[in-house]
Amino acid sequence: MSNLTSLTLADALRGLREKRFSSEEITQAHLQAIEAARGLNAFVLETPDHALAMARASDVRLARGEGSVLEGAPIGVKDLFCTNGVRSTAGSKILGEFRPPYESTVTANLWRDGAVMLGKLNMDEFAMGSSNETSAFGPVINPWKSRGSNQSLTPGGSSGGSAAAVAADLVLGATATDTGGSIRQPASLTGTVGVKPTYGRCSRWGVVAFASSLDQAGPIAKTVEDAAILLRSMSGHDPKDSTSLPTDVPDFPNFVGRSVKGLRIGVPKEYRSDGMPPEIEALWAKGVEWLKDAGCDIVDVSLPHTKYALPAYYIIAPAEASSNLARYDGMRYGIRGEGANLTDVYEATRAEGFGDEVKRRILIGTYVLSAGYYDAYYLKALKVRRRIADDFTVAFERVDALLTPTAPSAAFALGDKSADPIAMYLNDIFTVTVNLAGLPGMSVPGALDATGLPLGLQVIARPLDEGTMFSVAGALEKAAGFGAKAERWW
Amino acid sequence: MAIDAETVRKVARLARIREREDRLEPLAAELNGIIQWIEQLAEVDTEGVEPMTSAVAVTLPMREDVVTEGGDAGAILANAPRSRDGFFVVPKVVE
């Protein structure tokens, strides 16, 4: 039965529809794989009873020929999504045993379409991190290892559990979220496909907020087609999120495999940073060649404010976080600390409940918003953000999509960067601009480096043009012929 | 605009996070490192640039001012650290 876990989502859906196996069988196979992979620490909560009940209900619908587009397919859910009656922690201690009395819109859409929930996936606390090391549940271990080495590597973050679970065939696909690169960077580090759609494409309702003007949900999947199938179900207008876009959802899978002939692909020169590992530069050049061979026109473009994106992000995101996380006061849900008076209780609750990185960002956010500094930091960052977004608008007058590396390195060892916040923040150098500008971006595995670790390429498209993005990503996937899997050691 | 231990104490108080006395100096050093890195934004000419407050250019929608859900105190209180008789129990707020 174990071969059922190596199927792609698209093949699994076909097999379910053709009744070659039942949802209960493929769900059971994944539950066994999850149990055998506890050493990866990808899950913070396994929900086998829940999964089997959903699978049996799917089997009834499939038998009647009433199955929906994801009917019977077992997936994982990042623990940032609130799930009705199922513990949701955001990777933090402060939420305790919080069981939401409601379901996030994105997960509700997936269940509406027949998907089965296997459990909740590990992540950096409140999605603040690029290595999964800030999780209150301990870091996820990347299924990939350097050739000949036994060292534990990071799967990236913050959606490290989602990426590792997909890479290790524990789930057919997973939900994830991306505020500065948290879907795309872990996808790059685990040889998976990760999509951050246009801001507003997926509802944020029921997703624990980090930085509301940047947060977007999206899928991590085994293939470009699988990611397109998942995003189609996750997307859609939601009146409960005022920033959710009232636009129709295109049939994303339809764009995968389309010809990219005649598309103009921009290569931004500012992404060619000093000290870029030669293998990443080589993969980028290969990606350009692949698209040229597929009939694309390659255009050099300039995004002059790129180097200011991370510093602007580290004002805007902490400022929004310090405000969003004010709700964790120990009064209505989560843990409550001890204190002599109300303020003492607040301070004790938040001191006990938040980890170091979350505290650091709340302090920065509080500082940049405090009297006397608001204009110098926060307002300045919002103006720089406009400059960054304008760079893209100008570039997209000349090109249909952009091609860049996803991350500045392959997976690194756990502990390597955890002592230096800025070194950790630099992981998002190629991804964060996309969040600031609200654009869709995705990572596709391109090649293995010399030590056998996966490296990803990033495709960026115009707002709401995920269709073109999927076509370009599909062309890259086909040309790269990646297909590598982590060798099983867990 | 260097951040010292006293500033950390004040900001932590504003953020309602208790920080131990011996953590104030190390935190000041960490935050200074980050703020100094951020200060390169001063190089960007933003004269006449409108601050970007939203990732998409849409006007926020309006809806009817009516109750759409509610009446389920049990569900709302289910996660409370302490509750009694349909109310949250909190520390004394007014002396």
Q: B49 CA to chain A: closest CA distance, Å?
A: 6
Tell me the C-alpha distance between B32 and B83, whole Å: 42
User: Could you identify the residue written with the tokens 């935190």?
Assistant: B27
β-bridge pairing A441-448 and A193-196: antiparallel
Q: Check if the beta carbon of residue A470 is closer than 8 Å to that of residue A256.
A: yes
ipTM: 0.95
Tell me the C-alpha distance between A43 and A417, whole Å: 23
Q: Is residue A486 part of a domain?
A: no
Taking alpha carbons only, the member of A56, A29, A203 closest to residue A116 is A56
Tell me the C-alpha distance between A408 and A371, whole Å: 36
Tell me the C-alpha distance between A78 and A76, whole Å: 7
The domain that holds A42 is classified in CATH as 3.90.1300.10
Query: For B1-94, where are the alpha helices, taking DSSP H only?
Result: 5-14, 24-38, 73-77
What distances in angstroms separate CA A94 from CA A136, A285, A366, B8, B87, one per listed residue? 9, 45, 19, 22, 21
Name, in order, each residue with C-beta under 8 angstroms of A434's C-beta and a sequence gap of 6 or more.
Answer: A196, A440, A441, A460
Amino acid at A166: V
Task: For chain B, positions 37-66, list CB contacts with chain A under 8 A.
Answer: 37-44, 46, 49-56, 58, 60-61, 63
Size of interface A-B (CB pairs under 8 A): 163
Nearest to B40 among A308, A386, A389 (CB): A308
The DSSP 8-state label assigned to residue A21 in this structure reads S
Residue-wise DSSP of A97-109: T---SS--HHHHH
Mean pLDDT by 10 residues, chain A (490 residues): 87 97 98 98 98 98 97 98 98 98 98 98 98 98 96 97 98 98 98 98 98 97 98 97 95 98 98 88 98 98 97 98 98 96 97 97 96 93 98 98 97 92 92 98 97 98 98 98 96
Could you tell me how many residues make up chain A? 490
Active-site residue, A78 included: yes
Residue B57 is predicted with a pLDDT of 75
Nearest to A363 among B11, B51, B53 (CB): B11
Q: Is residue A440 part of a domain?
A: no
Taking alpha carbons only, the member of A227, A222, A224, A185 closest to residue A202 is A227
Q: Is residue A34 part of a domain?
A: yes
R_g (Cα) of chain B, nearest Å: 23
Bridge-partner residues for B87, per DSSP? B84
- Number of structural domains chain A divides into: 1
Which sequence spans correspond to the domains of chain B? 5-42
Residue-wise DSSP of A241-253: STTS---PPP-GG
Residue A1 is predicted with a pLDDT of 43
Sites in chain B below the pLDDT cut of 70: 1
β-bridge pairing B87-88 and B83-84: antiparallel
Q: Is residue A412 part of a domain?
A: no
8 Å CB contact of A246 and B61: yes
Q: Is residue A289 part of a domain?
A: no
Q: What is the pLDDT of residues B72-82, one digit of tens each?
A: 999 999 999 99
Domain extent at residue A25 = 2-261
Q: For B74, name the nearest residue in chain A, comparing CA atoms only.
A: A101
